[in-house]
Amino acid sequence: MKKIFILSLLLTFYGCAISIGNKVADSSDSNGVTTNGNSIYHFDGHSMIAFNKISPKKRAAFEMLNKTIIMPAIQRANLSVYNSLTFLAPDEQNEDGTYTFLYIANPYLENEDYDILSMLVAVHGRSRAEEYFQLWLDCFAEEQETLLFR
């Protein structure tokens, strides 16, 4: 829990940080993206982080499901959602023995569907999708938490 708090704090701090003393002029494009030196700002963009606390016995299964079934299904069902997502796997256990995996959507596309089950259904059909989704759900030690950032 302490690691999640620290990660959230760092992401909030760096997500809200304003560059000070940067002598590079801003340049904007037609998509609402402004570049200032090494920083890129999406004025209409938001970010979403989904925290997934996974049971130690299910860590390998969760990682395998995401790499071989979930993420490829998202890529086939909705390429724009897939391109906005990053899946991160932890190096170490949390203090309580669980593992925290992250989905980060940057930018979070508010008009798109990020529902994993619906994308699995679109790619694999209802029956197979429900099997995969249940395997995915069985990996959780706690309910998924999501945070939106602006």
**Burial track 105-120 (b if 16+ CB lie within 10 A, e otherwise):** beebbeeeebebeebb
Report if residue 66 sits inside a domain: yes
Domain residue limits at 132: 44-149
Report if residue 145 sits inside a domain: yes
The whole-angstrom separation of Cα 148 and Cα 150 is 7
Report if residue 96 sits inside a domain: yes
pLDDT digit string, tens, across residues 11-21: 454 444 433 33
Report if residue 11 sits inside a domain: no
> For residues 22 and 59, is the Cβ–Cβ distance under 8 A?
no
Looking at this protein, which amino acid is placed at residue 150?
R
Report if residue 119 sits inside a domain: yes
pTM above 0.85, yes or no: no
pLDDT digit string, tens, across residues 43-90: 555 899 999 999 999 999 999 999 999 999 999 999 999 999 999 999
> Is 139's pLDDT higher than 90?
yes
Number of domains the chain contains:
1
